[in-house]
Amino acid sequence: MIGMLEIAPLHASDGWRLTVVVEDESAPRAVDASSSGEQSIDLNTFYREFLRPGQGTASLTAEVDGPEGEAHLARLLNAIETNSHPNGHRGRKH
């Protein structure tokens, strides 16, 4: 099973995008693996099914378009690494 999550700004002109791909060869779980095509799932299901330790191999691809895109992406990655959020929940683990 392969899960893919694309993270991008609301406006493509902001010039960045992250893509997370997780390949998991384990037995099917809550997501219906019997369908042969692509299937959309919500973010909570993606996290539960693909982003837990031991759930396969994950890769992250970052794309930027120019210095502004690079700066936006750098700020996002820093916020992710420090688990800080602009709404005042700095350091809070979910």
**Residue 28 resides in a domain:** yes
- Please give the pLDDT value at position 27: 45
**Residue 87 resides in a domain:** no
**Residue 27 resides in a domain:** yes
**Residue 86 resides in a domain:** no
Note the pTM of the prediction, 2 decimals. Answer: 0.64
**Residue 31 resides in a domain:** yes
**Residue 6 resides in a domain:** yes
Instruction: Please name the residues in contact with 68: beta carbons below 8 A apart, sequence gap of 6 or more.
Output: 14, 15
- Please give the pLDDT value at position 36: 58
- Please give the pLDDT value at position 63: 92
**Residue 91 resides in a domain:** no
Number of domains forming the structure of the chain: 1
**Residue 39 resides in a domain:** yes
Q: What is the pLDDT of residues 33-92, one digit of tens each?
A: 555 567 888 888 888 878 777 767 888 899 999 998 999 889 888 888 887 655 544 444
Cβ burial 69-85 (10 Å sphere, 16+ → b, else e): beeebeeeeeeeeeeee
Q: What domain range is 21 assigned to?
A: 2-65
